[in-house]
Structure 1
Amino acid sequence: MTAEPMRPGQGPLYKQVKQRVIRRLIDETWKPGDMLPSEPKLAASFGVSPGTVRRALDELVAENLLVRHQGKGTIVCRHDPERSLFHFFRMVDAVGARPTPDSRVLACRRRRAERPEAARLGLPAGAPVVVIDRVRSAGRRPLLVERLVLPGRLFGALAEVAPEDLPNTLYTLYEERFGVTVYRAAEQLRAVAADERDAELLGVAPGTPLLEIDRLASSLDGMPVEWRLSRCRTDAHRYRVELV
């Protein structure tokens, strides 16, 4: 590995190491499933102490970008279905159990972005996007209806996939087929009333209170890669967040 000395005045050393590791993930020097060099080797490469490297890697492990395997080393995380469900799906039942939702894709198509969609994804007006509409169920009972809007320049080929061939966990598909890793997701919640379409798809009466989850997902370099709007029944499930 080529030596990369840190630069004075660019912030704490461990933060600089963290950003350089992320940059290597972005440029695919290290891909999902790859094992990183040992901490001493990374320390020598970056010109810092092993303790500084360990602190940087600790943060990336906490952020689910890396995972440590005892006796093996540090590995770049994959968006496998189980991890994606645990990390991004927050609906639980009355006893706190997280269901494994099934998905039924209603449509997957390519079109021009509407103004709100372009604004949320940071795209020019009318830029091509891929739109996925689907219903997710728990225990054969409709739980939420959602629309996903994706930049066409990244995911245009998705429009060629038959709806029934789209997987339940899309973040794994983004990573494995398109090389896009979802790093962060910012969500906003609000209460809404079910419109006629919501009511028909979720099996509730029009006007039924629903929880709307507005999620903007971004990649390792901070670029928005998905806007997801979900409307959820809350008669048997709740949205749970654990703060530590």
Structure 2
Amino acid sequence: MISADPHASQPIGFRPLYLQVKATLLRRLVDGVWLPGTALPSEGQLAAEIGVSQGTVRKALDELAAENIVVRRQGRGTFVAEHDERRILFQFFKLVPDDGERRFPESAVLDVAIGEADEAECTALGIDRTVRVVRIRRLRSFQAKPLVLETLSLPQHLFPGLETAPVPNNLYSLYARRYGVTIAHAREKLKAVALLPDDATLLGVAPGSPALKINRVALSLDGSPVELRVSLCLTEEVHYLSDLR
């Protein structure tokens, strides 16, 4: 039980009580106590169980909702967020057609392979060279027009059997449902590049054509890096939209 006394002695690294409650709830999500789409106990139930006030629980849940980890539904309660297409469009897929209408791209898998991690994968995923990774390459399109060439790298031990299973368009939903790995956050680096010949051919443009390179590391609920995704994006008819708050 978490101490509910805010005036108790504060050790080094003390965190406000609501952040301690938030960490407790996150740990339960990581451990699979509540699966995506399921309802959490009421604020009153959680408060009684953890040993804090209902207001403290509400503040912790508000933080989780702001991070899109849980969803508040008026009159129904609080639910673990799912990686449906709407959430991915607004939280993780930042390329928007110039007409402003958000659309989820179609995907075609080019190849799936397994190999030892290279230097970039080791750095991004926090693994060593002995770890084997699953690499997925796919082409993503809007209305059959190639838009993004993606290469995804994932530690094989976290996603056993992924290399032999069908690869759906919505991978984040698969990670959560099949492997219990929920993507909570991602870090991205953007850079303008000129396309190499092989990549340009797959995207249907001339070698040396300009593209936006997006290097994304996806993090699970506990902050561990679980996916490296490198995307080469054509931007003649789309733009990268970031909603800064």
The TM-score range, normalised by the shorter chain, is over 0.9
Aligned length: 239
Which amino acid is the alignment partner of residue 172 of structure 2?
Answer: Y
Which amino acid is the alignment partner of residue 84 of structure 1?
Answer: I
**Long gaps (5+) in structure 2:** none
Report matched runs for 1:23-102 at 5 Å.
23-102=27-106
Deviation of 1:6 (Å) = 5.0
Deviation of 1:53 (Å) = 1.2
Which amino acid is the alignment partner of residue 16 of structure 1?
Answer: Q
SS of the equivalent of 1:21 reads helix
Within the candidate set 121, 125, 130, 1:117 is matched to 121
Instruction: Give me the whole-angstrom Cα distance separating, in 1, the residues matched to 2:32 and 2:99.
Output: 41
Closer, same or farther: CA 6–206 of 1 in aligned 2, 3 Å: farther
Are the equivalent residues in 2 in contact too, given 1:130–1:156 (CA < 8 A)? Answer: no
Within the candidate set 99, 109, 114, 1:105 is matched to 109
Instruction: Give me the whole-angstrom Cα distance separating, in 2, the residues matched to 1:187 and 1:83.
Output: 17
SS of the equivalent of 1:183 reads strand
Report matched runs for 1:1-244 at 5 Å.
3-5=1-3, 8=8, 9=10, 10-161=14-165, 165-244=166-245
Which amino acid is the alignment partner of residue 188 of structure 1?
Answer: K
Identical aligned residues as a percent: 49
Deviation of 1:94 (Å) = 1.3
* TM-score computed with the length of structure 1 as normaliser: 0.94
* TM-score computed with the length of structure 2 as normaliser: 0.93
Structure 1 residue runs of 4 or more that deviate by more than 4 Å after TM superposition: none
Deviation of 1:80 (Å) = 2.1
Are the equivalent residues in 1 in contact too, given 2:2–2:52 (CA < 8 A)? Answer: no
**Long gaps (5+) in structure 1:** none
Are the equivalent residues in 2 in contact too, given 1:4–1:47 (CA < 8 A)? Answer: yes
Are the equivalent residues in 2 in contact too, given 1:193–1:208 (CA < 8 A)? Answer: yes
Deviation of 1:110 (Å) = 1.3
